[in-house]
Copies of this chain bind each other. A is one copy, B any other.
Amino acid sequence: MKIALAQYNYHVGNFEGNTSKIIHGIEEAKKRNADLVVFSELAVCGYPSADLLEFEEYIHKSYESLEKIAAHCTGIAAVVGAPDKNQGPKGKPLYNAAFFLSNKKITRVFHKGLLPNYDIFDEYRYFEPANQFQVLEYKNKRIALTICEDLWNLNDNPLYLQNPMDKLYKQGVDLMINIAASPFSWNHIYERKSMLSQNAATYNLPMFYVNQVGAQTDVIFDGGSMVINPQGEIVKELASFEEDLSIVELSRTLSSEGSRPIPSQDTDQKNERIYKALILGVKDYFQKLGFTKAILGLSGGIDSAVTMVIAAEALGAKNVLGVLMPGQFSSDHSIQDAQELAENLGSPYHTIQITKTAHTFEQHLHPWFKDTDFNVAEENIQARTRAVYLMALSNKFGHVLLNTSNKSEAAVGYGTLYGDMCGGMSVLGDLYKTEVFELARYINRKKRIIPQNSITKPPSAELRPDQKDADSLPEYNILDPILFEYIENRKGPEALYSMGFEQTMVDRVLKLVNYSEHKRFQTPPVLRVSLKSFGAGRKMPIVAKYL
C-alpha cells in the first residue's frame, strides 16, 4: 500500500483555499499511484480556528467542503481533519475528527480522545473527548488512526486517564496513522520525534505522521511529517517550514534499510530553526492578511537589526522601510549603524528628528511638570513620539509596523507602552536578549549583514544621557537564566533560591516581571518559538499578589 503524506499550509476559515489545496493533494497523490493520502488535523478549517468553531455556519461550511473533497476520492482514499458535530444528547457540541473519504463519500469518522488544554491549547473549549476507538480497515490493512495528542500519553505520569492506542492495539493493528497540528518550539522537535518513535516501538508498528505547516498569527507550525518503522527509526522525513507531499510504500517500513535513528537532542540547529520559523511567521502573517510592506524603527541596536533582516528575508528587502528617529540622546554611531544595516540589505529608510516634537510635548506640559526631575515621563515621551511617526507612515502608506522588543525586555517591562511596544506583530518577542545576540551572529555567519557595532556595543535605549540597559537591569547573562526558569519552568522564588540564584537578584527580577503584566496585556501577538511565550499560552492575572 502506498501512502501519501500531504503537508500543507492552511489558512484559518479559508474553506475555499484549503479545500482546493486538499483536492490538489488528492489529485497529485492519485497521479503518483498512492492508495491513501493523509492530510493534517482540522485541515479543512485550519488549526486553530478558535471561537469561529462556535458559529453554526462555520461548521456547515466545513461539511460542505468535505463533500467537495470526497467527490475527488475515486481510486484513492483520503484522511482529512475537520470538526464533526456531536450527535449525542450530551457533551460539547463538536468532536475534533478525522474523516475517511473513499468512493466519493465520507465513509467513516474518527474522534480525538485526548484534548490538549494547556499552554496555547484550549481544545476542551470546543470539543468533547471520545472514549471509544475503532480500527479502520482499508485494503486488507487494519489502521489505528489517531489525532495528534492521542499519542502523547505514554509516560509514567500520564495527563489523561485513558490511552487510545492501547484500546486500538487490542483490536489488532497493522499500522498507525496520526494527523497533527503540532506547533514549532525550537527545543521541542526532539521530544516530538522521540514520542513518535516510542509509540512505534511500543506497539511494534509503523507510524505515518502528518503535521501542519505554516503560521497562524502567533503560532508557527513547522511540518516535519514523517514515517517511522516499528524499530522506532525514521524511514522518511518531510521538509520543515514548507509544504511537502511524499509517498511511502508501507513495505518500506518492514526493513531498517535506509532508515536512521532519532537524532539525540542537539542544539546545533537552534538558530537555523528559529531563523526559518520567524521568517515563515512574518511571511504568513503578511500573506494571509493581504499585506506586502513592513515598517519598523531602526535604532542602530541589535533587536531592530535582527527584526529587519528577518522581515527583509520574508517580504523582500525593498518592502521593508526602516525609520531612523534620532532624538536628543541618540549617539552618532547609532545612526550610522542603522544606515549601514539598511544599505547592507538594500532596504529604503527615512530619517526623522524627534527632538523638536518631544520638546513641544514638554513645553505644553510645563504648567504641571514645572521643575520636576527628568524621569520616566520624559523618557517615554520620546519613545511615544517615535511610535506616532511610525504609525502615521503606516496609516498613510499601508505598511504594517513590526515590533522589535525581545523577550527579556518584555518580561521585565523595559519598554514603553504605546511607544516601542507598538506594532502589528512582535517578531523577536519570544527570544531572550542573549538569544537575539546568538541569532545575530548566526545571520552574520557568512557575510556581515548586521553591523558589528550593533552586536558588540552595550545595549541602550538612549532615552537619557549615557543610558545603558545595565543601569536599570541586571546583565542579560544573569537576567535571562532567571527569566527562563520563572517563565518556561514556573519556578517560584523559593525554588530559584534553592537552585543557587542569588536571593536579592531573584526578588528584583520577579518583581519586575510581575509588575509588568499590565504592559504585556497590551502587546502585539508574539511569534512563538519556545515552549512558553508571552501571549495566549501564558495567562497571568494583572491584579494579584504574586509569589
Contact = CB atoms under 8 A, between A and B. Distances in A.
Contact of A12 (B361, B490, B524, B545): B545
A395 interface: yes
A277 to B, nearest CB: 16
A356 B360 contact: yes
Nearest to A352: B364
A375 B56 CA distance: 38
A51 B538 contact: yes
Contacts of A376: 395
A392 B381 contact: yes
Interface residues of A, number: 97
A367 B11 CA distance: 39
A118 B15 CA distance: 25
Interface stretch (A98-106, A236-244, A283-291, A500-508): A283-291
A357 B350 contact: no
A384 interface: yes
A58 B52 CA distance: 35
A112 to B, nearest CB: 14
A418 interface: yes
29 contacts: A12-B541, A14-B544, A46-B544, A49-B541, A51-B540, A52-B546, A55-B492, A57-B547, A89-B158, A91-B159, A91-B161, A92-B159, A117-B122, A122-B539, A217-B541, A289-B543, A350-B367, A357-B360, A361-B388, A361-B392, A369-B396, A372-B396, A375-B396, A377-B393, A380-B395, A388-B388, A418-B422, A424-B518, A536-B539
Interface of A: 11-15, 17, 46, 48-52, 54-58, 61, 89-92, 117-118, 122, 124-125, 156-161, 215-217, 284-285, 288-289, 350, 352-353, 356-357, 360-361, 364-365, 367-369, 372, 375-378, 380-381, 384-385, 387-389, 391-393, 395-397, 417-418, 422, 424, 490-495, 518, 521-525, 536, 538-547
Given A118-B125, A124-B124, 14 more contacts: A11-B544, A13-B545, A50-B540, A55-B491, A55-B492, A90-B160, A117-B124, A122-B125, A217-B541, A285-B543, A391-B418, A521-B525, A522-B524, A525-B542
